[in-house]
Structure 1
Amino acid sequence: MDKKIKIVISDLDGTLLPAQGEVSDRDIKSLYKLKEEEIVRVIATGRNLYSALSVLPDDFPIDYLIFASGAGIFDWQKRELIFSQHLDSDIVFELSSELIKLETDFMILDPIPNNHQFAYYRSGKSNPDFDRRLSLYKPFASPIGHAEDTRREACQLLVILSSCVNGFNELKAKFENVKIIRATSPLDHESIWMEIFPLHISKAYGAEWLCQYLNVDTDLSIVIGNDYNDLDLLEWGKYPFVVSNAPKELKDTYENTKSVDDSGFSVAIKKILN
């Protein structure tokens, strides 16, 4: 290589962290090795801060955490929030009113850092994955009583759909001037989650902001992902990889590495750094 890598950004679930598993010893060693090489280590996740902190110990070997798909950035070493964005109350009300009219289940996540708390609308239709997330965050959830209750600032809106891509695309077409991110449910690994953010928000935006903050050349980046919510990041990074457990559509587009269970993170890094 004629340029030295300065930053490595990896997705968390399904890329670095296996389902019902732990980050491999090999990947942990790779993260420590990156520090020795003075390379900035970043995780970019769709998880909220509360959720990310629940699965990553305080001494986990990274420097920054991009969370909520780029809506917030946390300095891991200093334990402080350095960036956050939110949707204005009028936009949240407008989006919510349309979703209620369509009888579509959704959640309004509170502004960062409390975006593990949310208000929710439940249509009554069968939606097991929605109920699963509701049960998981029950202490932090409150039902929406009236449409006016939705006039509030929010980190994002979360719509949980079936695995029908057409349904996602039809709903997405109804909204303008917001960023729509598609993600596969981390709960049942089938349902489609529609995440609605301010127009400019994405993991790539968070990565770009962080590079400017640190004065790091974006051409000196490795990025690793596994799902549709990593697309912006994969397009942004100089050296993008997807793990072999990623959807075929992504594997056909980006360079492949081993699966999350086979330390694909470390394999990708080794390909570039060596």
Structure 2
Amino acid sequence: MIKLVVTDLDGTLLRSDHKFNDEDMVSLCRLGEMGIIRAIATGRSPFSASTVLPDDFPIDYLLFSSGAGIMRWSDKSIIHANQLSQEVVQYVIALLVEMHADFMVHEPIPLNHCFHYHSSGKLNSDFERRISLYKDYSQPLITGVPFPGPASQVLAVLPNDIERFNAISKKLNGVQVIRATSPLDGKSIWLEIFPEGVSKSGGIQWLCSYIGGIHPHNLLALGNDYNDIDMLNLAGEAFVVSNAPSELKDKFQVVPVNDEAGFSHAVKRVLKKG
């Protein structure tokens, strides 16, 4: 019996044109009528999510910033939030500067669309594009002065180089490191740094406890990228859309691409089993 359905947003529920399939909207409404809890788990901040999700979007919860925070969608109240301490933020900044990485330090929730950035000086078009997109909410990081407070996350934008990702990850201690593919150029690696325990699966488990009566085997999860793996491993029914990397498609059930209502196919397949 499925009691909770959680889907990733970009590249999964959201189409390539940043709109939604009518069939998927019908499926979300049907799930609500059946009393099944609906949630989106995304790497986006609440501000970023609001640019594509209208206020009346048919979900119950938004797990944002890869599980760092959870919003009850009906009244947009934040019911759960995590942050990196000032001490940890300073340690991460020093390490990333030493590793010559391009990165952003994001303000605490709910203003975590605002960030301070540091450039290594090397060409990094994905990094520059993200700064341009958030030009009204970003400012250069002054590396010689201690960061003024806690942060929701630190995001390093790397070229498509898994060895560099692994090298930096191995040096980071006492934090949660999550790999994601850039939604901007579709190839750069985003190395996301959160407080220990923060992940999509961690957010889902917190939500299950908050709601009560929901076990991971009651969960249907749908994703498309590396930052969804922990969520998919948690779920009793785990799916990826066909536009996911091959290594994910080899491990989880596969449905059509995000542009062809893959979400609805996953829901229908599981409801048929019931």
TM-score range, shorter chain: over 0.9
Select which of 224, 228, 231 maps to 1:230. 228
Partner of 2:20: 23
Partner of 2:267: 269
Partner of 1:131: 128
CA deviation digits over 1:18-66, x for unaligned, max 9?
Answer: 2223110000000000011100000000001100011100011000000
Contact 1:87 1:156 in 2 (8 A): yes
Letter in 1 for 2:253: E
Closer/same/farther in 2, CA of residues 134 and 140 from structure 1, 3 Å limit: same
Letter in 1 for 2:51: S
Select which of 135, 158, 162 maps to 2:159. 162
Letter in 2 for 1:10: T
SS of the residue corresponding to residue 171 of structure 1 reads: helix
The alpha-carbon deviation at position 151 of structure 1 amounts to 4.9
Q: What is the aligned length?
A: 271
| Contiguous gaps of at least 5 residues in structure 1 | none
Select which of 239, 244, 247 maps to 2:245. 247
Contact 2:223 2:240 in 1 (8 A): yes
The alpha-carbon deviation at position 247 of structure 1 amounts to 0.2
Letter in 1 for 2:270: I
The alpha-carbon deviation at position 150 of structure 1 amounts to 2.5
Partner of 2:48: 51
Letter in 2 for 1:256: V
Letter in 2 for 1:45: T
- Tell me how far apart the structure 1 counterparts of residues 144 and 109 of structure 2 sit (CA, whole Å): 22
**Deviant stretches of 4+, over 3 Å:** none
Letter in 1 for 2:108: P
Select which of 146, 149, 153 maps to 2:150. 153
The alpha-carbon deviation at position 124 of structure 1 amounts to 1.0
Contact 1:97 1:147 in 2 (8 A): no
- Tell me how far apart the structure 1 counterparts of residues 257 and 81 of structure 2 sit (CA, whole Å): 32
- Tell me how far apart the structure 1 counterparts of residues 175 and 245 of structure 2 sit (CA, whole Å): 25
Q: Which moved more, 1:171-180 or 1:201-210?
A: 171-180
The alpha-carbon deviation at position 266 of structure 1 amounts to 0.4
Q: Percent of counterpart pairs with the same letter? A: 46
Partner of 2:75: 78
Partner of 1:217: 215
Closer/same/farther in 2, CA of residues 171 and 40 from structure 1, 3 Å limit: same
Contact 1:106 1:120 in 2 (8 A): yes
1:154-193 paired onto structure 2 within 5 Å: 154-193=151-190
SS of the residue corresponding to residue 73 of structure 1 reads: strand
- Tell me how far apart the structure 1 counterparts of residues 97 and 248 of structure 2 sit (CA, whole Å): 33
- Tell me how far apart the structure 2 counterparts of residues 199 and 132 of structure 1 sit (CA, whole Å): 29
SS of the residue corresponding to residue 193 of structure 1 reads: strand
Partner of 2:191: 194
Contact 1:63 1:75 in 2 (8 A): yes
| Contiguous gaps of at least 5 residues in structure 2 | none
Partner of 1:140: 137
Partner of 1:204: 201
- Tell me how far apart the structure 1 counterparts of residues 205 and 81 of structure 2 sit (CA, whole Å): 14
CA deviation digits over 1:220-257, x for unaligned, max 9?
Answer: 11000000000110011110000000000100011111
- Tell me how far apart the structure 2 counterparts of residues 37 and 230 of structure 1 sit (CA, whole Å): 26
CA deviation digits over 1:136-166, x for unaligned, max 9?
Answer: 0001111112332425200000000001111
- Tell me how far apart the structure 2 counterparts of residues 254 and 23 of structure 1 sit (CA, whole Å): 23
TM-score (norm. length: structure 1): 0.97
Contact 1:92 1:151 in 2 (8 A): no
- Tell me how far apart the structure 2 counterparts of residues 27 and 147 of structure 1 sit (CA, whole Å): 49
